[in-house]
Amino acid sequence: MLAPQRRDDNPCRPRHFKPAPCAPVNPDGRAAQNLETCRTRLLVTGALFALVFAVVGLRLIDVVLLEGSAAGAPAAHIRPVAPPPAMGRADIVDRNGALLATTLDTPSLYGNPKQISDPAEATRALASALPGLNPAETYAKLSSGRSFVWLRRRLTPREQYAVNRLGIPGLEFEPEERRVYPFGDLASHVVGYCGIDNRGFAGIERALDTVVKERREPVQLSLDARVQYILHEELRHVVDEFTAKGAAGIIMDVRSGEILAMVSLPDFDPNHPTADTPNEPPEQAKERIFNKITLGDYEMGSAFKIFNTAMALDAGTARMTKQYDAIHDIHIGRFTIEDYHGKHRMLSVPEVFMYSSNLGSARMALEAGAERQRSFLARLGLLKPVPIDFDEVSRPRFPAMWREVNVITIAYGHGIAVSPLHVATAVSAIVNGGMLHPPTLLRLPPGTRPAGERVISEKTSEQMRKLMRLVVEYGTAKLAAAPGYVVGGKTGTAEKNTGGHYQEKKLVSDFVAVFPMHDPRYLVLTMVDEPHPSKESHGYATAGWTVAPATGRIIGRIAPLLGVQPVDENSPEVTRALTIESMQGKKIEDY
């Protein structure tokens, strides 16, 4: 019988059937070696990671603290990321915020002919979805075997939906942008238009192309869309009434040079600038794009007597009471200068201006001399392009040699061709106290009255305001009166010079008006190109019958919009400001 085994609490005592739990099992030493290798590798890897993190940490400390402090800013090397540039072109708005131009997302349709199994069927389906698509051209593209063809650029949402509904494999859309002009042709020559790549091709779009691309906020013009509409409508009426070739007009703030409206007819829709009108000759298509106000150069006729008279009065070679011979014609070479409906008597300066006497104006200019005349016109900016934020501006045409015959004809607006913008800018200086301001199509900050260049004295400016008022009260522009708004101005009618020959039947009639004349605020210049007499004009096509009445209507409509309050034209204030001293106590018929 076996004796019971004695309990042994020593676990480390060796047993005969297994090794002790704490005894190392290492029959050949390989396990210990492998374990040691693993430990070594872990230590090396950890050391490398620690080294890398130490280097990165030290570099951060160096950049943020040490170098930053040396530069005077703890975080000099940490710069904010610039926001991405704005996509597309900035909006263009009028002075009141009305939207004149904006950019919309518009997809363009293209195709992969290699993926289109039936080009004929695809063409028929596209033609039904996109009216106006040329089936022959479309089929040629879809059967070309190429991998990419444009089918229609700048689709409307409705057109995109119609194409999507076809479900034709191989038709895809490319996201693009389209420049849109909500007012259509209303201000087309000012705003201009863009090409298919959204690059400005005309007007402000072209002149300020870089600015419009880089700005985020809208570009605000000096235009007033309400005033623009009235000018556009009245000039359209003149063209229709006198079956004219075209017309143009500009409205300007005489105190700042801001242009509130600019119209040139015929015009175009900037949304489709190259769209052909059925049966329209190519020269007429070009005429629609042509801006008469800035690009045209015209002999403006008797409107130039404003400058001639101001020159003589400012130089002191003429006085308001001085008399000039309007009896005898002037003969120079093969030319004879005479008056249209002349008075055939001696005329004072007010009468020369009021009755638009060519003879009196010519003798006034000869008295002043060629050098003084040329210098004065240069001072008014009439012998160089007008400085304006616009690319399409003309260069004046005037004689290289300023001879006596040039002095005579320039006195009444022949022999020198300028743009209507030239005339508007110069007349603004004549009436506003004598300060010449460069015109602008960009709105100035409210209350801004820019410094200008003095070109005539305040006294001469006051005298010219009185003379221009006479023309509307008693002279050639009686039909331009707008009761309550004290209109003054000067008419001009000139035969067009074609190839060195004046065309008696082709006239340019223009009228430049200012209101209110006792405290000038705004200038309105209107012009009609090749008008024909109407029944209402009693057979005349001169400015007093064509554009003068339209100007009166324009002023009557825009003055309330511009905040000009009507006044009693016979009030002491108005009478005192516009009465010519030499005429006090006399009736106009007494002269």
DSSP state of 137: H
Q: Where are the alpha helices (DSSP H) in 26-156?
A: 30-61, 68-70, 119-129, 135-142
d(CA 556, CA 326): 35
Phi, psi of 29 (to 5 degrees): 85, 0
d(CA 533, CA 507): 11
254 alpha carbon, distance to own chain's centre: 19
Look at the alpha carbons of 568, 572, 578, 584 in this order and tell me if their dihedral is positive or negative.
positive
- Strand positions, DSSP E, 84-131: 92-93, 99-111
Indicate if 302 belongs to the active site: yes
Which residue type sits at 160?
Q
Which residue type sits at 480?
A
3-state secondary structure 206-255: HHCHHHHHHCCCCEEECCCHHHHHHHHHHHHHHHHHCCCCEEEEEEEECC
- What the block records as the tokens of 510 is 């223009």
Catalytic residue selected from 302, 428, 461, 509: 302
Q: Return the residue matching tokens 């052909």.
A: 276
d(CA 557, CA 554): 5
Q: Which residues pair with 219 in a beta bridge?
A: 92
d(CA 353, CA 313): 12
Which residues have a catalytic role annotated? Answer: 302
